Amino acid sequence: MQEQSNYNEESIKTLDWQEHIRRRPGMYIGKLGDGSQADDGIYVLLKEVFDNSIDEFMMGNGKKIEVKVSDEEVSIRDYGRGIPLGKLIDVASKMNTGAKYDSKVFKKSVGLNGVGIKAVNALSESFVIRSIREGEVKKISFSAGVIQSEEKVAHTEENNGTHVVFKPDLSIFKTYHYISDYIASMMKNYTFLNAGLTIEFNGERYHSRNGLLDLLHETMDSDPIYPVIHLKGEDIEVALSHGNQYGEDYYSFVNGQHTTQGGTHLQVFKEIVVKTVRDFYKKDFDASDIRASIIAAVSIKVEEPVFESQTKTKLGSKDIAPGGPSVRNFVSSFVQTELDNYLHKNQETADVLLRRIQESERERKAISGIKKLAKQRAKKASLHNKKLRDCRIHFDTKHERKSESSIFITEGDSASGSITKSRNVSTQAVFSLRGKPLNSYGLTKKVVYENEEFNLLQAALNIEEGLDDLRYNKVIIATDADVDGMHIRLLLLTFFLQFFPELIKKGHIYIFQTPLFRVRNKRKTYYCYSEEERLAAVKKVGANAEITRFKGLGEISPDEFSVFIGSEIRLEPVTLHKGDSIKKILEFYMGKNTPERQEFIIDNLYVEKDEV
């Protein structure tokens, strides 16, 4: 008989605010992560502090914000009004304390509940906040939310503003690293949404004059087929165009916050664009043909916004303001009126858009029969479980842990078998390729349905209709660290870039890093991912070191794999940089052999030392 624990007055505990945040960080910043994803906790910490500076700018105070990230330390300095010195300690360390409850001071703020900066404080091993206000400065230092020192108010010649420097706590985040590309993208989005604001990030200057128009020109890797339609109203801004790429690409924002998971405003926007286009041409086009190859951004401002989590990635508000119109009516009324007016006034754009829709319609109908057969093939393969070893998380009715889900794309039975045996069956799936995939460069989407491997991979990811129903948050390419493995990696990246570029743009594709060496003796084992790590491990182990060079994933046992795909997993995100053209990248690496590519290969030729 199981012994029952005593339930009495001593069982009821009240945690200090710092301890509650540190015990339950997910309630405040979402998943912790290690910095490999743009929504990992360390970036949320940065945003929570930065959003306060943005709110100052939105209220007309301070036109510059300085951000520095080095050695895992973050520094953010704005030139707003500065926090009232007598309330500095409360703002930094008392829950539900802030000025944003007063809508006259912060009418359309990002953060409203007075929690964000306290979470940063509690989850940082070092948190220093300074406020400069009217020739006076006050500084307070914390560690894990506990005051370490408080300096008296002093005279200063510095300009007004707030300066926060913090370092995330390693006891909470374990291992982490900031990826500059993620932060740079975040900073650029802030400038697009706050025309006139200057942000300096690690010496780089970001500034925008034209808002979302600049955002679209920044993110498009080739010219749109018609000039970007840029519509602005009170508390709403929209920009959209079409390109020649596959897929749909959307950016949505609320009060300057990048709502990466969308929400009411984005859903309404997508619906009303379809309705407006149908009404304008007086034709019942399929929604997928209207939205094919679209790139669009929508930004709205809401009083007292309601987000579906503290990380503010999805809008849940129903109304624009208390007593005001609904978000649905507000967005649909503006877009329908302004987009219809634009198309009537710009006949050339309307003609180009019509041709693009008709082109998409022809392609869709041309492969409709193939798609039906391909879906039947994918369903049959799924029933017999030939390709996909799925994870259990998809059987959860609410999909509450979807952000934790991942899928390894492997080649060969030995590699997929080892990963399958050592994976976390709740959150990690495995898809096994049969040989090298087809080089899909220059082919149409018809090949996705004609080629069995591509068709089954698309079905496994559930991305035929876009990313809304993507089944895995992380799509991990896991191939051998040799020439053949690199080739398979390139062929898969070509497939994604060619037909599903939004998977890469939205940060879902990763390269699985496996160790190159195992260095061990009878007492200790080290797994090394580079020559430098191998040399360091040999020094630690000593003269009796046994060194193994892993040639492929199939050589690594399931027991060892459990180390690499658990909490210590190393993933390299696949990102696109400013100026990267998908068309040019694919043409250079996967097109016809050219003298330029031959020269590139020769210049980057690498021969491993143990093969010489």
- 148 and 79 fall within a common domain: yes
Q: Give the model's pLDDT for residue 29.
A: 85
Q: Give the Å distances, CA to CA, from 492 to 382, 390, 511.
A: 21, 20, 11
Predicted local distance difference test score (pLDDT) of residue 299: 93
More confident residue, 12 or 318: 318
> What is the rounded average pLDDT for all residues in the chain?
85
CA separation for the pair 597, 590 (Å, rounded):
10
Question: In whole angstroms, what is the distance from residue 389 CA to residue 415 CA?
Answer: 13
Q: What is the pLDDT of residue 104?
A: 44
Task: Say whether both 292 and 152 belong to one domain.
Answer: no
What pTM value is reported for the model? 0.79
The domain total for the chain is 3
In terms of domains, do 384 and 268 share one? no
For 555-587, how does the pLDDT look when each residue is reduced to its tens digit (9 = 90+)? Answer: 788 888 888 888 778 889 998 876 667 777 877
Q: With respect to residue 249, please indicate whether it lies within any of the assigned structural domains.
A: yes
Q: Can you give 231-291 as a three-state secondary structure string?
A: EEECCEEEEEEECCCCCCEEEEEECCEECCCCEHHHHHHHHHHHHHHHHHHCCCCCHHHHH
Same domain assignment for residues 175 and 39: yes
Q: β-strands 236-242, 249-254: how paired?
A: unpaired
Domain that holds residue 176: 17-207
| Residues 150-191 pLDDT 10s | 999 999 999 999 999 999 999 999 888 899 989 999 999 999
Q: Are residues 194 and 110 in the same domain?
A: yes
What is the CATH classification number for the domain harbouring 429?
3.40.50.670
472 C-beta neighbours (distance < 10 Å), count: 25
Instruction: Kindly state whether residues 433 and 564 are assigned to the same domain.
Output: yes
- Residue ending a domain, among 176, 192, 207, is 207
Q: What is the pLDDT of residue 251?
A: 93
Q: Please check whether residue 521 lies inside any domain of the structure.
A: no
How many residues can be counted in the chain?
A: 612
Taking the C-alpha atoms of residue 475 and residue 509, their distance in angstroms, rounded to an integer, is 5
Task: Tell which of 365, 399, 428 closes a domain.
Answer: 365
Q: Which of 587, 577, 433, 578 is nearest to 498 (CA)?
A: 587
State how beta strands 517-520 and 525-528 pair.
Answer: antiparallel
Residues 186 and 234 in one domain: no
What would the pLDDT profile of 425-437 be if each residue is shown by its tens digit? Answer: 989 999 998 888 9
272: CB partners within 8 A, 6+ apart: 331, 332, 335, 336
Residue 498: name the closest of 457, 441, 460 by CA.
Answer: 441
Q: What is the mean pLDDT of residues 516-536?
A: 90
User: 271 in a domain, yes or no?
Assistant: yes
Q: Is there a domain that residue 316 lies in?
A: yes
**455 and 355, same structural domain?**
no
Instruction: State how far the Cα of 313 lies from the Cα of 263, in Å rounded to an integer.
Output: 8
Please tell me the least confidently modeled range out of 192-201, 444-453, 599-608. Answer: 599-608
Q: Look-up: residue for tokens 């398979």?
A: 488
Assess whether 152 and 221 both reside in one domain: no
**Domain limit, last residue, from 311, 346, 365:** 365
Res. 12 pLDDT band, cuts 50 70 90:
very low
Q: Do 68 and 38 sit in the same domain of this protein? A: yes
**577-600 per-residue burial string, b: 16 or more CB within 10 A, e: under 16:** eeeeebeeebeeebeeeeeeeeee
